[in-house]
Structure formats: structure tokens, C-alpha cells
Structure 1
């Protein structure tokens, strides 16, 4: 396989039940410490002209996996016609959460700048992710310009090390976040096992989605289990309070008895809600 731009068609189950998916792997949106920063593009058989950025991040580890192996998890979006951009960032433990935020923002700007190449309307882009990926999704949706992150002093590789699209505006039209951390001051850590969270309080505030809620933000759907012990549901509840105070379009789905991750029927419910949200807010422009 050509890992630098070859588009392939893959079938992940029998032809009778699976649609063909086009894959463009390892699109480079920047470089950091001599390493490429990449995303993969998964194109459905019948694209609807909209796209969804999927944050590949758990505990701010961004683990590479062959894009063919991601088709199954992306299937609900692909079957609904969405082109999916699987976005990787500089991973823990080498890079911290502050750097991950700047990475995915650069990826979003690159995707917006090149949307036409993927037959995607740059005004019909959404973002989704779970846990750390949910945090990154909300940072893209609520703070697309990267306001206040200059306080961190960690953007040493910004500029020429990201592609030339680094200065392109990348407002997104909708977001779906599963059990996201929204106030990062609650997650700062000096534990050597979590180097990605060894950040200062000013840094934590600068990368807290709750800091950036305004009435002009795109519609946000939160999905959270009420017995999550990793990211307590209070995180989503305080964001809901802020979104309500700012007259945002939002919703919170609480899955009873669910912890940090959804399985079985609850997983199906969460995936269906995600697709319905994007169908509602990433649809084609209405002609008056």
C-alpha cells in the first residue's frame, strides 16, 4: 500500500452487506520533532458532501492504526454519507495535552483548506470524539481560533512546521462529544504515569472548553454515562449550564448506568444520536 496518498477501495465484510469505502491514508498536515502529523480520509460509497473530523485520542494518546481497521467504528457515519477524517495528534507520553490541542487545530485548518479535494463542503464539517477526543472536539468547536493558548508558551513548532494552511479559519458547524473533560483544572496531575497532564493552572485554563462558550458557537451534543468514574458527568453538566446561559444550541443525553464507554444497546443509542445530530446540523443549505 502506498501510505502517502493512494486511494483504495476496501470491503470489510461481505459485498451483500458492506458498501465500498475509499481510503486516503497518512495525509500530512505538519511536522513536529522530525515526525509527520497525519490524518486519514475515509470516503463513503455515496458521499453527502459533508464531513466529520474524528479525534483519534484516548487519554491524549493518539495511537496509529491502519485506516482499514477503523472502517468498522466509523461505519455509522460512512453509511450516512459522511466523509470521515481520522485525525492523529502528537501523542502522549512524549507530547502533552496543550500540544495536542494545537495539533488538531492545525489538522482542522488543513482539512478546511483542502476540503474541495475530498468533495466536501468546508461549511458542512463537524467534529466528534470520546473522552480526550471529546475534549479536543470541543476545543475545536468552541475555540477555533486558538484564543489564549499563547499563554502556554509551548507552541515552539507552530508556523512553518505546520502546513501553510495554519492560518486558515476553521469554524465547524456541529460537534458531538462523548464523556468529555471540559474543565482541565480538574485533571492536572504530577503523576509520572500521566506526563501529558503535567501542566500549569494557566495552561489548564487555556485549554478548558468551558472557558470559550459563547452564543455564536455551533450546536453541541454531549453524551455521558451517569456512573462514569473517569470523567464524572459533572463535567458535561457544568458545560450545559454555560451553554444554557449563553443561549447556545445544545443537548445532553445521559445514559443510565453507563460508565466510561458505551457497549451494546447504549453504544447503538449513542451512535444513532450522533448521526442524527450531524444529519440535523450538517445538512445541505436550504434554498429560500
Structure 2
């Protein structure tokens, strides 16, 4: 039985009505793979009346730790995207400290392969996939943008034969160079000792750094960061933006004045709208 063509479990459809936007069907706990005897899952949020055929994967990750919440409680978060017709996939990966950053990267790569392989089921265009996330989720989004592949035609697992490339990226307050964050990095910020995921050697840190992988074929990428962020300094975003420009990759950096590692009020509203506008410009028909 091929995993790539199956949801891997019972699909329960819940239709939520919104007076200010589109109705959305929720398919919870879609299984996109297994590891260590555990299922890897995502929740799918599908507009029922204005779907535009594009899919957006959201990286559920903070500190490379992925949490679960009832999807009904998460639906409002994705409303700005579903109102524009995007189908949203909330992807959970294997969490730190049990699983490492390289393992989390492998998980989210598999999630893109799964969504692409099941594009007909989700009623989306497999070539119009975007990805976004905040902090660690932004890092994983950038890894999908800069270090993806076309699949391995000789792989035993049919899903590994499918491309994990995406067509657009939005990364909020994202680490882009883990080489200055891991345990062996000289002069790293003391705050990073609180994150077990950063217990990496420098070789693995380089492999897992989006900044290292920038090439001219990377997808259009929007970076949003606060210029007063003391956890992931804005230089992370500035450096990769400069690398994108040097490689002639379509890219934009929005610096939120006075903001730290997370946005509130009007800053949050504007940054969210910038994300939606980016995906509309890059992915909508």
C-alpha cells in the first residue's frame, strides 16, 4: 500500500462558518509519514467556496519544538490566507530534544513531498506551493527554499522520488546561520543555551544553515524581522537578503522598527498582510 497516495488515517471534515470570510473545511491529523513508531501529522484547512488552487505549508515550530492544538483553535490564525483562497497545511515535525534540527528538516521536506504527491486529493496545483513560519519555523521554511531537491528517482520509498521544492517563502524572525548559534560557536548568545536543538556540532550547523545554500534557482522569498530582536538579531535576515540579492533571487526584507522577537498590534497586522500579499503575488492565479 503506497503512503504517498493516502491520508494515512480517517479524514474528519468540519465546516466552520465565518461572517467575515470564507467557509473552511478542516481535515485534522493527516499522516504524512512515520518515524520511531510514531505518526507525523498535519492539519489541512481548505476554503470551500473560493479556493484558488495554491497550497501554503505552515511550519508549526518554535525552538524546533512542534506542538499540537485542536485545529478548530488554530483556524483563526490561518484565516487571512484561507480568505484569499489558499489551502493551508499546518505541519508538525519531530520535536526537540528527542529529534535534532537535521531530523526536523527531513520531516518538513517529506511533508512537501506528501502534499505534492497528493495534490489531486487536496485540489491544489503541485507547482504552486508556498511555505512560511516564525523563528525556528522560519528557519525550516528557508531550508525548504534554499536546500530542496527534485527527488531521488531511484529511491525505494515512492514519496522520496517526489520533489520537495516550493515556489514561494515567507520567513519571520528566522535564524539563517546556525554556525553562530550552536554549542561550539565562539561568542554565541547566552540565550541559545536554553535550546537543546542547538546542541549541534559546527559541521551539522553548516549543513542546516539556509545562508550556506543560497543559489540563483531559489524561490521568491520575503523576510520579516524586528530591528530590536535580541534573540535572533536582524543581521540574520540582512545577511541572507544580501545573499539572495547577490544570487539574483527575488527577495524583500521588511524591517519592523522597534520590534523584538515577535510582533504585536499594528506590527502584527501589517506583517501578516505583507505575508498574504506576497503569496498572492507569487502563487495566486
Q: CA deviation at 1:146?
A: 9.2
Aligned twin of 1:173? 167
Partner residue in 2 for 1:243 = 244
Query: Within 5 A, what are the aligned runs for 1:250-261?
Result: 250-261=251-262
Contact 2:150 2:164 in 1 (8 A): no
Mean CA deviation greater in 242-251 or 188-197: 188-197
Q: Which runs of 4+ in 1 moved over 4 A?
A: 190-193
Q: Which secondary structure does the structure 2 equivalent of 1:77 belong to?
A: helix
Root mean square deviation, CA, Å:
1.8
* Stretch deviating more after TM superposition (188-197 or 257-266): 188-197
* Equivalence for 1:8: 14
Contact 1:110 1:166 in 2 (8 A): no
Q: Tell me how far 1:27 sits from its aligned partner.
A: 1.1
Q: What TM-score comes out, normalization by structure 1 length?
A: 0.88
Aligned-pair distance for 1:233? 0.0
Q: CA deviation at 1:167?
A: 2.3
Structure 1 portions without partners, runs of 5+: 148-158
Does 2:23 correspond to 1:17? no
How far apart are the structure 2 equivalents of 1:282 and 1:75? 17
Runs of 5+ unmatched residues, structure 2: 1-8, 185-191
SS at match of 2:252: strand
Matched residues, number: 266
Instruction: State the SS of the aligned residue for 2:41.
Output: strand
* 2: CA distance, partners of 1:118 / 1:7: 13
The answer to whether the 8 A contact 1:132-1:180 is kept is yes
1:184-216, Cα deviation, whole Å (9 max, x unpaired) = 112213777432111111100001001111111
Q: Is the 8 A contact 2:41 2:92 kept in 1?
A: yes
Which residue is equivalent to 1:41? 44
Residue number in structure 2 paired with 1:153: none
Secondary structure of 2:90 counterpart: strand
CA contact (8 A) 1:226 1:232 kept: yes
Alignment of 1:134-173 (within 5 A): 134-145=138-149, 164-173=158-167
Does residue 282 (structure 1) correspond to residue 253 (structure 2)? The answer is: no
So what's the TM-score if we normalise by structure 2?
Answer: 0.89
